[in-house]
Amino acid sequence: MPTQLDRGTGGVELPPAPAERFPDRLRRRWRSRGRHRALTFWILFRGIPIFLLYAILFALNGFLIGWRNAYDVSLAITSPADTAHPTMAWLLSLAGWLVAPGIAGAVAGYVITASIASRRGTPLESAFAEDHDG
């Protein structure tokens, strides 16, 4: 009696499928990035790369001007012009003004958009139904 394996192959042992090459696996993952919901997509493909660039800039400034000065410059507590490397400090200050609030605002915007989109499917009549009890 043939087994489940023997039915499709006619009793011939087939070699295992070849392993997927790294470039093919990477291309498949990149093309399937649209399967994520809006917030997850933004965090994975926009938020994390921006945060990594900001972290690299902060670390570079930490080594150049000191960690405390880098923190103070990124939060606009001290002027970037008062540091040992003002050009890098100005980039960190600009990133502190733009990137950090921008990421927080983008995440909040996606959360609010998802909340509004879930309510758009509700019919207007059921949202504003009147009570006829009295």
Question: Would you state the pLDDT for residue 63?
Answer: 96
Question: Would you state the pLDDT for residue 132?
Answer: 64
What's the average model confidence in pLDDT over 128-132? 69
Q: Any idea which residue has 């498949």 for tokens?
A: 28
Residue 8: pLDDT band (50, 70, 90) is: low
Report which of residues 130 and 58 the model is more confident about.
58
65-122, pLDDT tens digit by residue? 999 999 999 988 999 999 999 999 999 999 999 887 887 888 788 888 878 877 777 6
Q: Are 62 and 70 in contact (CB under 8 A)?
A: yes
Model confidence at 5: pLDDT above 90: no
Does the global pTM surpass 0.75? no
Q: Where are the domains of the chain?
A: 36-117
Question: Would you state the pLDDT for residue 62?
Answer: 96
19-43, pLDDT tens digit by residue? 889 998 888 888 887 887 777 887 8
Q: Any idea which residue has 């926009």 for tokens?
A: 46
Residue 116 sits at the vertex; the CA angle it makes with 110 and 120, to the nearest 5 degrees, is 140
Tell me how far the alpha carbon of residue 22 is from its chain's centroid: 23
Question: Would you state the pLDDT for residue 3?
Answer: 54
The whole-angstrom separation of Cα 59 and Cα 46 is: 20
